[in-house]
Structure 1
Amino acid sequence: MTHPSPPNDKRQAIQLLSRAAAPESRHLWLGLAWLLVAAGLEALGPVLSRHFIDDHLLPRQLDWPSLILLLGGGLVTGWIATGLRYLQLVRLAGVAMRSVRRLRAEVYDHVLRLPMAFFDKAITGQLVSRVTNDTEAVKALYVQVLFILLDSCIVLLGALGAMAWLDLRLMLIVSVLVPAVVVIVWFYQRWSGPAVARARELRSDINAQISESIAGMNVLQAANAEGRFSQRFLDTNQAHYTARMAELRANAWLLRPALDLLNVTLLAIVIFVFGLRELSGMEVGILYAFVSYMGRVVEPLIQITMQFSMLQQSVAAAARVNALLQETTADAAQGQARIGNGAVQICDLSFGYSPETPVIHDLSLQIPAGSFYGVVGHTGSGKSTLLSLLLRFYTAQSGRIEIDGVALNEIAEETFRSQIGLVPQDPFLLAASARENIDMGRGLSDIEIETAAKAARCHDFILALEQGYATPLGEGGAKLSVGQKQLLAIARALAGKPRILFLDEATAHIDSETEQIVQQALNALRGNVTLIAIAHRLSTIRDADRIIVLNHGRIAEEGNHEGLMAIDRGIYQRLYLLQQLGD
């Protein structure tokens, strides 16, 4: 037995729609008012036709003033209803478009503020799908579902009201359509709900697999894994096809065909009842009006049922978007302190991604302002975790990190981010110009950008590009070598004039010549900026003021290069000699 979509999805969808449409309440109520007036005017048409047939056409009473009044009234009400329909459609569609525009911006802004712990488990393709595909489905929920459902319900009520005024007993016969539709919709939801939700999830998986494969295409081809990944994608694609076919079968059985059958059956019943009662002098105009109104009753019901397929998909999408918005964002520190000299103090720091498995154990360290400190160690020793804590991506379970004597969480978020710089192991470059990649939207002047590029030793190769600083670099900096990308990332960090500069294995993937250029750039910064370098290639931090050797989250050794090399069979000595042997 299949089950409908969880009611929690519906609650989340309602919460999302209410929040997105809240600023549009005035436009929404105005559009609804026009919709009510238009539906009321449209309901007058068959009534006027009934009077025309029964009072004038059949009796041959051609009272021209009355005829002109009836015909003119029909034309005027039709024109007004058409105009109001146009205004209502534009107004409500505008509400929908603006609401979804705000929603998409809110989702993107929310994702930017999520803590790094969220991205440790998130899948990029699925996040992209939520920001693009799912918000687009929410737009469809507004434009194609809710407004059509609302319009159809108002037209339906207007038609039933007019039919009750003309003949209550015949209206009761026609009104059997309404509970019949409720039953059909209930069966449809039970049948198609799980299939719709499953198809939505699998579509997100398809996006994730495509994004993942494109990002790692060089690895896939080098490992001869194209066939295996193609088969994995085919399996997911086939599952998505199966879910969609289950949904389509439900549509084919329970939507328009079922209602068309009901419509034909009830029309035959109405004509039969009218034929029996015609002997007692029942007016023919009422039959015409009822046939007209039956079309106005059946078509809204068909529209309502036809929208349930989209409604199922949109509710699932809205629930996914709302669930993303419920993710807790990183707590933004509200302190007023600023970073002065850039001295870093770490006191009894302990941290684990799960409390049962600590990665950093009671670590204490003093880094003077303007000094150059290197952090090295075996894989899994805690180097990158320590850097993440210093960057405030995570919060330690115990201990304290201070900058210039002020706790890290007492420095305002914007102030903290503007006064530190980061050069990651894999430089992130925009598909934009060299100038835009250094600027990163900060509005820096050309002089500031070029000064940072010169300090990072990348000014010359940027000028050698076909358009200099205006040269588009392609996606991920495709036009640059790995070393040039790294130098550009250093220039970007320096352009913010940081007091503390973090380097996360910034020379791991570059050649020895480029490494020497990076070393020159770092040496030029000594004394002016506090440098903390996580290093895999020990030659990068050989000239550091102090080198910290981590082992299983604890400081195993510390000192300068010469002092650490003097420790017989020490960790640093073994690491350095192994790298020298490899070189």
Structure 2
Amino acid sequence: MSERKQAISLLNKAALPERRHLWLGLFWLISAALLEAAGPLLGKAFIDQHLLPRVLNWPEIFMLLGGGLACGWAASLIRYMQLLRLAGVAMRSVKRLREQVYSHVLALPMAYFDKAITGQLVSRVTNDTESVKALYVQVLFVMLDSLIVVLGTLSAMAWLNWRLMLMVLILIPAVVLIVWLYQRWSAPSVTKARQLRSDINAQMAESIAGMSVVQATNSEQRFAGRFQSTNNSLYAARMAELRANAWLLRPALDFLNVALLATVIWVFGKQSFSGLEIGVLYAFVSYIARVVEPLIQITMQFSQIQQAVVSAARVNVLLGEKQAINGDGQGQVSQGAVHFKDVAFGYDARLPVLHDLSLTIPAGSFYGIVGHTGSGKSTLLSLLLRFYTPQAGQIEIDGFPLLEIGDAAFRSGVGLVPQDPFLLASSARDNIDMGRKLSQEEIETAAKAANVHELILSLENGYDTDMGESGTRLSTGQKQLIAIARALAGKPRILLLDEATSHIDSETEQIVQQALSRLHGKVTMISIAHRLSTIRDADQIIVLNHGHIAEKGNHDELMQIERGIYQRLYLLQQLDAGV
């Protein structure tokens, strides 16, 4: 679909609830155009009927002058009111659109974010939607209003003298030609500039997020050079757009205006002795300005419109991305039993990560998942979380296939503690609650279960203490405990731990282990472990190797397998620890 069609599709979606306001606005714009067109007609009557013949009929003169003033005043008032109305339509539509885009991004599948660039996504939600507002304002008010004024003025000209009107009409094809040339010249530069602005946002977000690595590797100059190169390209694209504006917009149309005015005066001079009234000349001179100025306004908007069309197309493409598949059945997570049936999956279907994997995890049990890097451990958890859908086989919880469990029931029944804990730049309470409107008692119960209640109380404002951006006020281990409390606050029947202790010290690991041991038998726990000591007490340990279950058993059983994968991993870690 072309950018123009993408933009039109987006406008239709966002402006549909404003249809009544749009039609009402169109009616009042036509009324204002008719009132403005009446002014020169009243001036013509005053000149031809009273001024030239020196017939000073004061009541009629006052009526003509008063009518002209009233028409101008009424037209101005209507335009003011409609500017507010149509600007309100634009603002509400863009507000609705921005909320729709943000909600859509939140519902996209994890596979989309594997390839998405954060800075570009932020640019689409903020900069691009803001540019769409300009599209509404320019199209709904400036261009629509200007078009109505041109049509009304040409109609009044035709009523006065259709031959002179045809001369003015020649201006329309000339303007269309200028606009066509402008689009051909500027469109590539506008599209490139919009993309480069997104690239700059992406580079800024990437640099700030990885500032410690940038400085530690002495890469400041390289990153600055890359940014400068992108910025220079943006400058070149904007200058190319500016040159198109300078040549083809105001200067060209001003020249057409002067040429047309001179032609009309010359024709009037030749025909004045044939009975052409002076009032007609006055009306035509007034109308030419009313035709040319709206056309200039229309063409002057094409620079912003071109940018807005590109932005609207990008937003519409984002809205066209398929959302994550959510469960819509009546299934519930009541016990927490998990069953994998011949599951096969690959991020690229040609390169499978898991091969016909079958596994049954009883409710309330503690299972550890271990294996070398790339063996499929995190993939197994991602499938269980419904971030991805298996290409073959099926995953069931309490006998229900995942997609037969309603989304609300699934998210409340399955909790996740990620490897890198994510904290909001908000209070400890908000980070545990996560908008679920939990009571203080529920929040504290979860914090106690995660062994973090005393830590939170020791902060200056307790549960109202701000954690800072990404939890900068806390250590990695403390953030992990907050993440565990958040997961437990939802009272899940299944708790998934993705290497939850890989970045913390041994002392904090013991605290986390104590928190998890309290849950043993109450909640089904599935833990991906890098440190094998964290899953030593697991009921069962699953060893993955290249997407297959290579070994299975508890710690003692697996250590009995001569030269087994688990035995080698465990002994190697013991050796590294100096035990």
Q: Does TM-score exceed 0.5, indicating one fold?
A: yes
Query: How far apart are the structure 2 equivalents of 1:338 and 1:281?
Result: 91
1:32-87 superposed Cα distances (whole Å, 9 cap, x missing partner): 10111011101111111111112111221110110111112112222221221122
Query: Which residue pairs with 2:117 in the alignment?
Result: 123
Asked if 1:299 is matched to 2:293, the reply is yes
Asked if 1:557 is matched to 2:557, the reply is no
Amino acid at match of 1:60: R
1:109-140 superposed Cα distances (whole Å, 9 cap, x missing partner): 11111111111111111111111111111111
Amino acid at match of 1:110: H
Amino acid at match of 2:119: G
Asked if 1:111 is matched to 2:105, the reply is yes
Query: Which residue pairs with 2:495 in the alignment?
Result: 501
Query: Which residue pairs with 2:183 in the alignment?
Result: 189
Query: How far apart are the structure 2 equivalents of 1:368 and 1:203?
Result: 52
Query: Which residue pairs with 1:331 in the alignment?
Result: 325
Asked if 1:347 is matched to 2:344, the reply is no
Query: Which residue pairs with 1:89 in the alignment?
Result: 83
Query: Which residue pairs with 2:47 in the alignment?
Result: 53
Whether the aligned pair in 2 keeps the contact of 1:376 and 1:383 (CA below 8 Å) is yes
Amino acid at match of 1:287: L
Query: How far apart are the structure 2 equivalents of 1:393 and 1:80?
Result: 60
1:531-550 superposed Cα distances (whole Å, 9 cap, x missing partner): 00011111111111111111
How far off is 1:176 after superposition? 1.4
* 1:274-423 matched pairs, under 5 angstroms: 274-423=268-417
* 1:257-272 matched pairs, under 5 angstroms: 257-272=251-266
How far off is 1:209 after superposition? 0.8
Query: Which residue pairs with 2:73 in the alignment?
Result: 79
* 1:248-263 matched pairs, under 5 angstroms: 248-263=242-257
Using the size of structure 2 for normalisation, the TM-score is 0.98
Structure 2, unaligned runs of 5 or more: none
Using the size of structure 1 for normalisation, the TM-score is 0.98
Query: How far apart are the structure 1 equivalents of 2:14 and 2:485?
Result: 40
Whether the aligned pair in 2 keeps the contact of 1:373 and 1:547 (CA below 8 Å) is yes
Whether the aligned pair in 1 keeps the contact of 2:158 and 2:165 (CA below 8 Å) is yes
Query: How far apart are the structure 1 equivalents of 2:494 and 2:567?
Result: 28
When structure 1 is superposed on structure 2, of 50-59 and 24-33 the one drifting more is: 50-59
Query: Which residue pairs with 1:172 in the alignment?
Result: 166
1:492-526 superposed Cα distances (whole Å, 9 cap, x missing partner): 00000000000011111111111111100000001
RMSD between aligned alpha carbons? Answer: 1.1
Query: How far apart are the structure 2 equivalents of 1:578 and 1:43?
Result: 90
- Equivalent in 37, 45, 49 of residue 43 of structure 1: 37
Query: How far apart are the structure 2 equivalents of 1:169 and 1:61?
Result: 29
Query: How far apart are the structure 2 equivalents of 1:400 and 1:173?
Result: 75
Query: How far apart are the structure 1 equivalents of 2:332 and 2:186?
Result: 57
Query: Which residue pairs with 2:426 in the alignment?
Result: 432
Whether the aligned pair in 2 keeps the contact of 1:196 and 1:312 (CA below 8 Å) is yes
Amino acid at match of 1:239: S
Whether the aligned pair in 1 keeps the contact of 2:367 and 2:526 (CA below 8 Å) is yes
How far off is 1:566 after superposition? 2.1
Q: Tell me, what secondary structure is at the counterpart of 2:195?
A: helix
1:436-482 superposed Cα distances (whole Å, 9 cap, x missing partner): 01000000011110111111111111111111111111111111111
Amino acid at match of 1:202: L
Q: Tell me, what secondary structure is at the counterpart of 2:114?
A: helix
Amino acid at match of 2:384: L
- Equivalent in 226, 230, 234 of residue 220 of structure 2: 226
* 1:2-81 matched pairs, under 5 angstroms: 8-81=2-75
Query: How far apart are the structure 2 equivalents of 1:324 and 1:150?
Result: 28
Query: How far apart are the structure 2 equivalents of 1:194 and 1:220?
Result: 34
How far off is 1:264 after superposition? 0.8
Query: How far apart are the structure 1 equivalents of 2:263 and 2:534?
Result: 90
Whether the aligned pair in 2 keeps the contact of 1:184 and 1:254 (CA below 8 Å) is yes
Structure 1, unaligned runs of 5 or more: 1-6
Query: How far apart are the structure 1 equivalents of 2:470 and 2:138?
Result: 38
Q: Tell me, what secondary structure is at the counterpart of 1:327?
A: coil
Query: How far apart are the structure 2 equivalents of 1:409 and 1:169?
Result: 72
Query: How far apart are the structure 2 equivalents of 1:475 and 1:299?
Result: 52
How far off is 1:145 after superposition? 3.5
How far off is 1:20 after superposition? 0.8
Query: Which residue pairs with 1:138 in the alignment?
Result: 132
How far off is 1:279 after superposition? 2.5
Query: How far apart are the structure 1 equivalents of 2:353 and 2:235?
Result: 44
Query: How far apart are the structure 1 equivalents of 2:156 and 2:460?
Result: 74
The number of equivalent residue pairs is: 577
Query: How far apart are the structure 1 equivalents of 2:72 and 2:460?
Result: 64
Q: Tell me, what secondary structure is at the counterpart of 2:470?
A: coil
Query: Which residue pairs with 1:3 in the alignment?
Result: none
How far off is 1:415 after superposition? 0.9
Whether the aligned pair in 2 keeps the contact of 1:375 and 1:549 (CA below 8 Å) is yes
Amino acid at match of 2:504: I
Q: Tell me, what secondary structure is at the counterpart of 2:518?
A: helix
Amino acid at match of 2:532: L
Whether the aligned pair in 1 keeps the contact of 2:32 and 2:76 (CA below 8 Å) is yes
How far off is 1:231 after superposition? 1.0
Query: How far apart are the structure 1 equivalents of 2:208 and 2:313?
Result: 28
Amino acid at match of 2:192: R
When structure 1 is superposed on structure 2, of 299-308 and 403-412 the one drifting more is: 403-412
Runs of 4+ in 1 over 3 A off after TM superposition: none
How far off is 1:232 after superposition? 1.1
Whether the aligned pair in 2 keeps the contact of 1:45 and 1:74 (CA below 8 Å) is yes
How far off is 1:281 after superposition? 3.6
- Equivalent in 446, 452, 460 of residue 458 of structure 1: 452
Query: How far apart are the structure 2 equivalents of 1:76 and 1:258?
Result: 35
Whether the aligned pair in 2 keeps the contact of 1:31 and 1:87 (CA below 8 Å) is no
Whether the aligned pair in 1 keeps the contact of 2:261 and 2:285 (CA below 8 Å) is yes
Asked if 1:522 is matched to 2:516, the reply is yes
Amino acid at match of 1:250: A
1:140-166 superposed Cα distances (whole Å, 9 cap, x missing partner): 100134421100000111111111111
1:196-227 superposed Cα distances (whole Å, 9 cap, x missing partner): 11111111111111111111111111111111
Asked if 1:241 is matched to 2:258, the reply is no
Query: Which residue pairs with 1:446 in the alignment?
Result: 440
Whether the aligned pair in 1 keeps the contact of 2:15 and 2:93 (CA below 8 Å) is yes
Whether the aligned pair in 2 keeps the contact of 1:483 and 1:510 (CA below 8 Å) is yes
Query: How far apart are the structure 1 equivalents of 2:114 and 2:549?
Result: 26
Asked if 1:162 is matched to 2:156, the reply is yes
Query: How far apart are the structure 2 equivalents of 1:390 and 1:330?
Result: 14
Whether the aligned pair in 2 keeps the contact of 1:115 and 1:393 (CA below 8 Å) is yes
